[in-house]
Structure formats: structure tokens, C-alpha cells
Structure 1
Amino acid sequence: MQTVTVPGSGALHDRQAYLARPVPTGPQPGPWPGVVVIHEALGPTDDMHEQCDWFAAAGYLTLMPDLYHGKPMIRCVRGAVRQLAAQRGPMFEQIEAARSYLAGRDDCTGAVGVAGYCLGGGFALLLAGRGGYHAAAVNYGELPQNLDEVLAGSCPIVASYGGRDGLVRGPAAATLTAALDRAGVPHDVRHYPPARHAFISRNVVPSPLTTIGKVLGVGYHHDSAADAKRRILAFFDEHLRGSTTG
């Protein structure tokens, strides 16, 4: 596990990213399929590093760009939300630079998936239909108003939403499922009734603030997280591990 520099291009400067590399032993000595992880609104937290390490342990070369460039979340999150709403901006360019860097590494097969959490789930959903990805994992990401347009030509999507989510509006799982059916996109979308927002992240709400997190509909839920992660790996193994570029 290391920090690497992802080269920029044009107006985009070189940026730092967290790289989690599988151990080159056993039946999967490499190269490996890649996964770009897009962090939650809080930034590249320890929880997000844990998700990267989990993907790497499962045999995926994983890269997480720091969309906040080391700055505090409070200074960056509003800009991230604006870019997500506009569906364009420097963060999209940074994520694409990360994908290109990962796909071009000698230890990557060239097949790349994207996995996003919270804010990152919204980015992952938008990117799924823009080419370059073989599968996408969308974890409690906000749905755009132009959902049908976004999903046109999308890669396969696995998505998870909590029934007690206080931040994602409306019946997101059902709405996304219907749109994916209309688009003819392979998918696995699940609604977890007892889960809140960010239910995969263990420490998204510090213990002194647990009660506030419950009121806001945010917090970890072990059983839902375990099942969602099982589904993500099964989906990526089916749609990403056996894929080739081209």
C-alpha cells in the first residue's frame, strides 16, 4: 500500500492517490484487473483506505485519488457537490486521469471498474456510462434527474441503498432498478431496510456522535455491509475479472 503520483495533463496538475496492490502469490500472481475507488464526502478517510485494502486483498489493483488534494473536507465538499450536480469539472478529470494511469500499469490487465461511496457513489453512477469501465459499484449514491440519459451505454452496475438513509431522497433502489431495466444494463441493486447512509463505513460517525448520526440517518450496519460487499465482489468477479480491454 503506497501513495503514488498520477500524472496530469493540460490544466490538470499531478495529483496524489492511494494505491493498494494485491500480494502477488497464489493463483492470481498478476496482472490484476483494476478498481478506481471514489471516496465519500468526508474525503479519503481511514474507512476509505480500508475499502481499498479490501479490494486489493480480493485480487484487484486499487487506486483512490484524493479529490480534496489533502485539504480539509469542509473546504472542498461544497465544490465536489457542485461538480456532481453539474456532472462535469476538475474532479471528473482527476478521476479519469486515475483510471487511465491504472489501466496503463504493467500490473493491471487494462480492465478497470469503479466503486464509489456516498458522494463517490454519485460520481461512480455518472461515470458508468461514459466509457472506460467494465463494472461499477454504486454505494448509496444520489440519483441524477437525467438518470435515463446517464445510463445510456452504461457498464454493468451493482448498487446498494439503505432503507433508513437520511440523505438519499426517495426510493432510490427501485428507481435505479427500473431505469437500468429500461436501459438494458446488467445490474444487481439491493435495498437494505435497516441500513442508514454510509452503512459500509465503520467509523463514518465517531462514537460520541452516534446518536446524532442515527437522527440524521447515517451510520454503519454490519449485516448490510457484509452482504453488500459480498455482492460487489461477486459482481466484479463476473463482469470485471474476466474482461479484457478493447
Structure 2
Amino acid sequence: DQDTAVAEIRSGVDYLLAQEYVAGPTVGITGFCMGGGLTLQVALVEDRLGAAVPWYGSPLSPEQAAQVKAPVLGNYGSLDSGIPASRVKAMVEAMTAAGIPNDFTIYEGAQHSFFNDTRSSYNPEAAALAWERTLAWLRKYVAS
């Protein structure tokens, strides 16, 4: 269930931050599809995130979005029939109103799972741009 998954991910944060090779006080989190939704759920409760990057994850409600504890970069597809752009926009508006740094892109012509190169929904242009933006976001907010 979702609560168990969030708890397990938070245990992973504990583990990472205890490692000598982790220089900073925070880590980044990213996830795809269900993992994207979990990325957002963890960002609601975990203070030790420097950044969160959901990929086509189920959007938070506006009330939840206003409580996020980390800067969020979101990658979504305009043709994703399971995640209406209106829900993403409502989440973004709530984060922005709450002063939470965020940058969401709805990639035109991209479907759900547009980053997965083993599926017919793969969109190499959107995937490359989203990956570039993801790395830049993590460097900005997490890298020491």
C-alpha cells in the first residue's frame, strides 16, 4: 500500500544519508508512473529532500501540493489520457501560491511513459529534453 511504500522510501533516504559518499544533508528523489506519484507523496512528508522529480505521476490535490517540502520538477505528457493536464495545472498553481519552487512541463505530443524506450509511447525528443532538465534540476537543488 502507499503508506508502506512511502515508509520504505524514507528508509532509503535514511540509508543514503548515512553513507560516506553522500556529501550533503539532502538527497533527490525521482520516479516514473506509480513511482512518480510516490515521489510526490514522499515530498509531502520528507524534510531531507533537496528536490523531487515526478515523471507522469498521479498529481497531488491542491491542498496537498501546498504542503510539499522540496522543489519539484514535473515531467508530463499532453496525450496522457490517465492524467488530465487540468489536474497537473491545479497542483502547479497551488505549489506556486505556497512559494514552493517548481517547474512543470507538459510535453506536447507525449503520452504516458514517454521516457520508456521499450514501449510504443516512447518519445525520444521529449525524453531527451526531460532528462536534461531533470539532471539540471538535481544539480541545482541537490548536488554539493
Q: TM-score, normalised by structure 1?
A: 0.54
1:135 equivalent among 34, 42, 51: 51
Work out whether residues 115 and 122 of structure 2, in 8 Å CA contact, stay in contact via their aligned partners in 1. yes
Work out whether residues 65 and 91 of structure 2, in 8 Å CA contact, stay in contact via their aligned partners in 1. no
Q: For residues 157-168 of structure 1, what are the structure 2 equivalents within 5 Å?
A: 157-168=72-83
Instruction: Please give the secondary structure, in 2, of the residue aligned with 1:171.
Output: helix
- Residues 148-196 of structure 1: per-residue CA shift (max 9 Å, x gap): 2343152100001101012223424422221111111111111112000
In structure 2, how many angstroms separate the alpha carbons of the residues matched to 1:118 and 1:183?
25
Instruction: Please give the secondary structure, in 2, of the residue aligned with 1:143.
Output: coil
**Does residue 104 in structure 1 map to residue 18 in structure 2?**
yes
Tell me by how many angstroms 1:97 deviates.
1.0
Instruction: Please give the secondary structure, in 1, of the residue aligned with 2:44.
Output: coil
Work out whether residues 56 and 112 of structure 2, in 8 Å CA contact, stay in contact via their aligned partners in 1. yes
In structure 1, how many angstroms separate the alpha carbons of the residues matched to 2:30 and 2:141?
13
In structure 2, how many angstroms separate the alpha carbons of the residues matched to 1:150 and 1:171?
14
Task: Write 1 or 2 for the structure with the bigger share of helix.
Answer: 2
Aligned letter for 2:11?
A
Q: For residues 40-189 of structure 1, what are the structure 2 equivalents within 5 Å?
A: 83-84=1-2, 88=3, 90-110=4-24, 111-130=26-45, 131-145=47-61, 147-189=62-104
Instruction: Please give the secondary structure, in 1, of the residue aligned with 2:49.
Output: coil
The corresponding residue for 1:57 is: none
Q: Greater relative contact order (Cα 8 A, min sep 6): structure 1 or 2?
A: 2
The structure with the larger Rg is 1
- Residues 109-136 of structure 1: per-residue CA shift (max 9 Å, x gap): 1420100110010011111131121100
**Does residue 191 in structure 1 map to residue 93 in structure 2?**
no
In structure 2, how many angstroms separate the alpha carbons of the residues matched to 1:132 and 1:235?
16
Work out whether residues 160 and 173 of structure 1, in 8 Å CA contact, stay in contact via their aligned partners in 2. no
In structure 2, how many angstroms separate the alpha carbons of the residues matched to 1:152 and 1:124?
14
Work out whether residues 195 and 224 of structure 1, in 8 Å CA contact, stay in contact via their aligned partners in 2. yes
In structure 2, how many angstroms separate the alpha carbons of the residues matched to 1:222 and 1:153?
30
In structure 2, how many angstroms separate the alpha carbons of the residues matched to 1:167 and 1:119?
12
Work out whether residues 58 and 83 of structure 2, in 8 Å CA contact, stay in contact via their aligned partners in 1. yes
Instruction: Please give the secondary structure, in 2, of the residue aligned with 1:152.
Output: coil
Query: What is the alpha-carbon root mean square deviation over aligned residues?
Result: 1.6
In structure 2, how many angstroms separate the alpha carbons of the residues matched to 1:173 and 1:228?
16
How many pairs does the alignment contain?
A: 142
1:236 equivalent among 125, 138, 144: 138
Aligned letter for 1:135?
A
In structure 1, how many angstroms separate the alpha carbons of the residues matched to 2:138 and 2:55?
14
The corresponding residue for 1:45 is: none
5+ long unaligned stretches in structure 2: none
